[in-house]
């Protein structure tokens, strides 16, 4: 057996002190706290309410009594043997980095179940699998196992905190019914690189995690799914994304599901209170693609809805709402290894060309097919093929937001192949498609700058800085004031207006977070001032 007295004799007082973890746990505590396996009592420095700490080591307890606040109570107790421990006087029971040190906890949890009052909060912190190595650890835990273990006690909540990849923090409000509103749904193939990040980003809001793993996966995707999901299974790919999504929806137990790809993660979360009381059947979420483009799609919806179409599957909600707070980041580079990314891209290429191509042959007015074919070839930088399909879309498309988006992409395609007058022609139609958008002015800045008409370009860039409160379905680029001011500075430099260039570069610096770029902009600004003095 590990000698804890000897360990604490040789260790400093705050050997286990972790400010971020202890602060977070303290924020979850309420009322009288019972800290099991308290060690030298670090938590008592973070939680200022009534506190009682218990530990098997007499040395640790002595250190705690001598160094922690005077009104904190500390007691030597072998928690493996606490068959008659009475938890009824406590409002919060904390087991922080404790359970991995004991081989059996059946007696302890039975006493909690028998004596703890309803509404008592149980808080547990344990290493996430084998992420924290120590010679005195005798077992490992994961999210899936903890959810199964704690579900009989009450409402189980996992928490997001800065160290979530290494340590799990979970709380249970004893006697409360388990919240059952939202599940995370993930269909994954070779997503081992990003799947854990995907799940962790939703851990605090999802009441269940449902992962379906393609049975042809040959990396650790299934292992990660097993760590986090009690509702995972393998499936055989049928060359149909809708069928895969619908199969997963059929296995969701909550009324709502949030679909993410394994290489995506949630940056802005929905309000669960709003979701629970909503009369809508779906919410349009912002999805930021790898190129910075933001589109809206009903990724959050009731499980009763079904998907259509084998590729670029459609969901047709009857009463969708928009939640601007929900932001999904699509990050294939950060969330998928290069081999899997290449396979995925080629798979989509074949499916889109085959399925969408056949649909467009059957009907030239199929705007869904022409739009996705255009976007597909644009992403592959096959600009002339993209132009072909974008022009077909504009012949038949009627939806204003989509028409603006396609017109914008057409202008960019012509810009990319150097056909500036065609790019300008399509840019001039953007205002009629969707007026008063900052992008309408910004693209003229790009076009005129490429044609070395720097004064016109600078004027358009300046006008693009105007604040627009208009909410749009498609956002092809993210507005970056630092980047725009840098472009303005470049224009003034080429015009020989060095003082104005200096001012523009300093404004760009103000909006820039990257320190290296900030320093570069500052040097540029100083150089422009020196050139202004000499001119």
Task: Report CA dihedral (40, 46, 48, 54) to the nearest 10 degrees.
Answer: -30
Give mean pLDDT, residues 217-230.
95
DSSP state letters, 50-82? -EEEEES-HHHHHHHHHHS-TT-EEEE--GGG-
Asked whether the domain spanning 182-330 has the same topology as the one spanning 4-174, the reply is no
Question: What tokens does 197 get?
Answer: 């990040």
Q: Rounded mean pLDDT of 115-144?
A: 95
Per-residue pLDDT at 532: 93
Both tokens of residue 484? 């725009």
pLDDT tens for each residue of 332-349:
988 999 999 999 899 999
Torsion (CA) 153, 154, 160, 163 in degrees, nearest 10: -10
- Cα dihedral value 517, 518, 519, 520, nearest 10: 50
pLDDT band at 469 (very low <50, low <70, confident <90, very high): low
Q: pLDDT tens digits, residue range 357-384?
A: 999 999 999 999 999 999 999 999 999 9
Q: Average per-residue pLDDT in the chain?
A: 94
- Return the residue matching tokens 């670029």: 312
Structure tokens that stand for 532 in this block? 């202004």
Q: Which CATH class is domain 182-330?
A: alpha beta
The answer to whether residues 303 and 255 touch, using CB atoms and an 8 Å cutoff, is yes
Whether the Cβ atoms of residue 427 and residue 411 lie closer than 8 Å to each other: yes
Return d(Cα 474, Cα 286) in angstroms, integer. 9
Residue range 4-174, CATH number: 3.40.50.150
DSSP state of 271: P
Contact yes or no for 32/89 (Cβ under 8 A): yes
pLDDT of res. 266: 97
Contact call for residues 136 and 7 (beta carbons, < 8 A): yes
Domain residue ranges in the chain? 4-174, 182-330
Token reading at 220? 């650790």
What is the percent of the chain where pLDDT is above 70? 99
pLDDT band for 84, please (50, 70, 90 cuts).
Answer: confident
- Residue 49 — pLDDT band, cuts 50, 70, 90? very high
End-to-end Cα spacing for the chain: 81
Q: What is the largest CA-CA distance in the chain?
A: 88
């Amino acid at each position: 057996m590990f000698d804890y007295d000897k360990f604490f004799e040789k260790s400093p007082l705050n050997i286990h002190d972790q400010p971020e973890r202890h602060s977070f746990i303290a924020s979850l505590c309420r009322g009288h706290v019972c800290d099991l396996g308290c060690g030298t009592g670090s938590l008592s420095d973070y939680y200022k309410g009534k506190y009682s700490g218990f530990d098997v080591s007499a040395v640790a307890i002595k250190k705690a009594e001598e160094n922690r606040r005077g009104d904190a109570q500390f007691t030597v107790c072998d928690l493996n043997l606490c068959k008659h421990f009475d938890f009824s006087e406590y409002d919060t029971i904390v087991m922080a980095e404790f359970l991995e040190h004991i081989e059996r906890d059946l007696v302890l949890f039975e006493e909690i179940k028998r004596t703890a009052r309803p509404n008592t909060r149980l808080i547990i912190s344990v290493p996430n699998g084998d992420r924290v190595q120590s010679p005195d650890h005798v077992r490992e835990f994961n999210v899936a196992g903890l959810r199964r273990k704690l579900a009989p006690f009450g409402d189980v909540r996992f928490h997001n905190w800065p160290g979530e990849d290494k340590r799990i923090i979970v709380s249970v409000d004893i006697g409360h019914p388990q919240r059952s509103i939202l599940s995370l749904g993930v269909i994954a193939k070779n997503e081992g690189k990003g799947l854990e990040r995907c799940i962790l980003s939703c851990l605090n809001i999802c009441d269940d995690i449902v992962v379906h793993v393609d049975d042809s996966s040959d990396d650790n995707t299934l292992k990660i799914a097993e760590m986090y999901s009690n509702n995972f299974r393998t499936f055989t790919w049928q060359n149909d994304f809708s069928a895969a999504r619908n199969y997963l929806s059929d296995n969701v137990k909550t009324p709502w599901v949030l679909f993410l790809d394994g290489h995506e993660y949630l940056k802005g979360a929905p309000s669960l209170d709003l979701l629970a009381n909503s009369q809508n059947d779906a919410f349009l979420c912002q999805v930021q693609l790898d190129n910075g483009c933001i589109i809206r799609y009903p990724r959050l919806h009731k499980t009763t809805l079904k998907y259509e179409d084998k590729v670029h599957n459609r969901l047709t909600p009857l009463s969708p709402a928009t939640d601007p707070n929900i932001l999904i980041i699509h990050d294939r580079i950060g969330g998928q290894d290069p081999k899997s990314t290449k396979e995925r891209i080629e798979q989509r290429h074949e499916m889109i060309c085959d399925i969408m191509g056949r649909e467009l042959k059957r009907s030239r007015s199929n705007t869904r097919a022409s739009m996705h074919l255009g976007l597909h070839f644009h992403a592959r930088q096959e600009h002339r093929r993209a132009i072909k399909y974008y022009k077909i879309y504009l012949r038949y498309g009627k939806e204003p937001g989509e028409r603006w988006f396609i017109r914008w992409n057409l202008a960019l395609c012509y810009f990319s192949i150097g056909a500036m007058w065609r790019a300008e022609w399509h840019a001039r139609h953007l205002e009629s498609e969707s007026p008063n958008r900052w992008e309408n002015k910004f693209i003229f800045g790009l076009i005129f700058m490429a044609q070395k008409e720097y004064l016109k370009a600078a004027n358009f860039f300046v006008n693009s800085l105007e604040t627009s409160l208009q909410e749009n379905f498609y956002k092809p680029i993210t507005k970056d004031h630092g980047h725009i001011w840098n472009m303005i500075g470049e224009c003034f430099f080429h015009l020989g207006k060095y003082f104005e260039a200096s001012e523009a570069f300093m404004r760009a610096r103000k909006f820039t977070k990257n320190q290296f770029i900030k320093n570069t902009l500052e040097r540029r600004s100083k150089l422009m001032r020196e050139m202004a003095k000499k001119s």
